[in-house]
Structure 1
Amino acid sequence: MAFSLKKFISFFLEPFTFGFLILLLAFIFLFFNSYKKAKIFLFIGLAYFFLVSSSIFSNLLMSPLENKYKNQENIDISKVEYVLLLGGDFERRAYEVIKLSKELKDAKIITSGYEGIDIIPEAIEARDRLISYGIDENRIIIQEKPKDTIEEAISIKKLLKDKPFILVTSASHMPRAMEIFKQQGLNPIAMPTAFTVKEKSSNSYLSIGNIKKVSMATHEYLGLVWFKIKTILNK
């Protein structure tokens, strides 16, 4: 129930959905000949889409998330025995896992993620694709039941107890993931990947990609708020 409620609320606060609802109100007022209100909501809707498609605004939202665990190069990971690949966005996260698998030749790799709307769980699909990239099947452990990061943390707690492990996920998702895993008493080592904010980029431009970036950031901020609410309610 809580998982479905979170998804429902997130859907309506997504930039595309929220902007569409504003424009829909404009057309509803236009239909009922309320031209003044129609103009107001049309202006708000267009201004909103202009804002969220801006690289300046999208980077402003995304930077605090991606920069929190950005510089991890000096951390000693030579004795770490496990690498956890969180579900979702496999292509952008796989490179880091493949690189780590070569650096830590004896480390086990854990794939996570349930099936969602697909037939095959993400954890199994990720395992199969990692094998196709040359990683030994015997090194891979699958966790196909968890539906979100909280459930992933609970599942990993049962598997690893307090053993340290490398956590691989997108840079934007890392702050929330680290909070959740640490709350379970786990010892994750952040290894973020799939950065979206480019360094030394002063150009301001409008694009659909920026709206997607705002959507990703919004999802993470909502997730952090949801996690803090659940933490307070569970005390």
Structure 2
Amino acid sequence: MAFFVSKLLWIIANPANLLGILVLIAALAALLRWRRIGAVALTLLVLLCGMLTLTPVPNDLLSALENRFPQPDLAKLPKVDGVIVLGGAVDTHRSSAFATLVVTDAAERLLALVDLGRRYPAAKLVMTGGSADIDGEGAVREADLVRDRFLPMVGFDPARVVFERDSRNTDENARYSRALVAPQPGEVWLLVTSAYHMPRAVGIFRQQGWPVVPYPVDFGAAPDSQISFDLLGGLQNFYWASREWIGLTYYWALGRTESFFPAP
């Protein structure tokens, strides 16, 4: 049930959807001559677009997430027993529709899988990702596409990787993968996911009793607080930032993360 509720909440809270709703309300108010409602909708639309374009808020919200866990100095780690890579790097819908591999903006997760796998040839490797569809029956699984398409494409042996293909969200990534590989006390596991997603992911893994070393990739925020002067760029940053902040709140309320904003 929590999976379906989270999907519904994001449809409502998605800032791109909010912009569209305000435009529709303003247009409908103009047709029906509802001046007060139209004025309110237009005012909110202008304020939101101004915030996305003329303030550093979208970048700062994303940067706060991405800077929470810095890249580790691998040379200082005593060992690396395993690497777990979270799904989200493959567009399963387009990959299925066009019968080819289509990656997302988070493709660095897959590059890190190959890179770390070559650096640590004795480490266990886990790729976790099923289908995020509400009706997942018969849907293409991300882990399958990584195994059958991506790894052969880059010349990496799929037999080296354990594929978890049933998870639909980060909580299930942690639970199902833990059941597959049974990490032992004292083992050092690297967790690979997008930098903005790392705080929530780390909190979930810790709550599952799996201490991990964060290995963030896929940075999107500007290094310093900046005004984008770019509506689409600001909207993109605000989209991912708001998605994660809402996700942190939701998972914390459900008791699925160790704290509201996990720290190193």
Q: Which residue of 1 aligns with 2:17?
A: 17
Kindly provide the amino acid, as one letter, of the partner of residue 191 in structure 1.
Answer: Y
The alignment partner of 2:216 has SS state of strand
The alignment partner of 1:72 has SS state of coil
Give 5+ residue unaligned stretches, structure 1: none
Deviates further, 92-101 or 13-22: 92-101
Kindly provide the amino acid, as one letter, of the partner of residue 46 in structure 1.
Answer: V
* 2:253 paired with 1:229: yes
1:164, distance to aligned residue in structure 2 (A)? 3.0
- Distance in 2 (alpha carbons) for counterparts of 1:99 and 1:140: 13
1:210, distance to aligned residue in structure 2 (A)? 2.3
Deviates further, 135-144 or 43-52: 43-52
Is the CA contact (8 Å cut-off) linking 1:50 and 1:206 kept in structure 2?
no
Deviates further, 189-198 or 50-59: 50-59
* Structure 1 length-normalised TM: 0.90
The correspondence for 1:190, drawn from 200, 214, 217, is 214
Is the CA contact (8 Å cut-off) linking 1:15 and 1:52 kept in structure 2?
no
- Distance in 2 (alpha carbons) for counterparts of 1:79 and 1:126: 26
Deviates further, 118-127 or 134-143: 118-127
The alignment partner of 1:187 has SS state of coil
Q: Which residue of 2 aligns with 1:4?
A: 4
Q: Percent of pairs identical after alignment? A: 26
The aligned length equals 232
Q: Which residue of 2 aligns with 1:170?
A: 194
Instruction: Indicate the RMSD between aligned Cα atoms, in angstroms.
Output: 2.1
* Structure 2 length-normalised TM: 0.80
* 2:166 paired with 1:145: yes
Give 5+ residue unaligned stretches, structure 2: 91-106, 257-264
Q: Which residue of 2 aligns with 1:130?
A: 151
Kindly provide the amino acid, as one letter, of the partner of residue 175 in structure 1.
Answer: P
Kindly provide the amino acid, as one letter, of the partner of residue 242 in structure 2.
Answer: T
The alignment partner of 2:190 has SS state of strand
Residue by residue, what CA displacement relative to the aligned partner does 1:42-83 show, whole Å, maximum 9, x if unpaired?
121122123224571211110110001124225634522211
Instruction: Say if 1:101 and 1:178 are closer, same or farther in 2 by CA, change over 3 A.
Output: same
Instruction: Say if 1:56 and 1:109 are closer, same or farther in 2 by CA, change over 3 A.
Output: same
- Distance in 2 (alpha carbons) for counterparts of 1:137 and 1:195: 27
- Distance in 2 (alpha carbons) for counterparts of 1:113 and 1:204: 33
Is the CA contact (8 Å cut-off) linking 2:86 and 2:129 kept in structure 1?
yes
1:192, distance to aligned residue in structure 2 (A)? 0.1
Instruction: Say if 1:154 and 1:88 are closer, same or farther in 2 by CA, change over 3 A.
Output: same
Q: Which residue of 2 aligns with 1:179?
A: 203
Instruction: Say if 1:47 and 1:166 are closer, same or farther in 2 by CA, change over 3 A.
Output: same
- Distance in 2 (alpha carbons) for counterparts of 1:99 and 1:150: 25
Is the CA contact (8 Å cut-off) linking 2:84 and 2:189 kept in structure 1?
yes
Is the CA contact (8 Å cut-off) linking 2:65 and 2:199 kept in structure 1?
yes
The alignment partner of 1:172 has SS state of helix
Is the CA contact (8 Å cut-off) linking 2:53 and 2:227 kept in structure 1?
no
- Distance in 2 (alpha carbons) for counterparts of 1:88 and 1:71: 20
Matches within 5 A, 1:203-222: 204-222=228-246
Residue by residue, what CA displacement relative to the aligned partner does 1:172-192 show, whole Å, maximum 9, x if unpaired?
000000000000100211000
Matches within 5 A, 1:76-95: 76-77=76-77, 79-90=79-90, 91-95=107-111
* 2:128 paired with 1:112: yes
Q: Which residue of 1 aligns with 2:176?
A: 155
- Distance in 2 (alpha carbons) for counterparts of 1:79 and 1:191: 14
Is the CA contact (8 Å cut-off) linking 2:63 and 2:222 kept in structure 1?
no
Residue by residue, what CA displacement relative to the aligned partner does 1:155-213 show, whole Å, maximum 9, x if unpaired?
12212234431100000000000000000100211000000112257564213132112
Is the CA contact (8 Å cut-off) linking 2:87 and 2:127 kept in structure 1?
yes
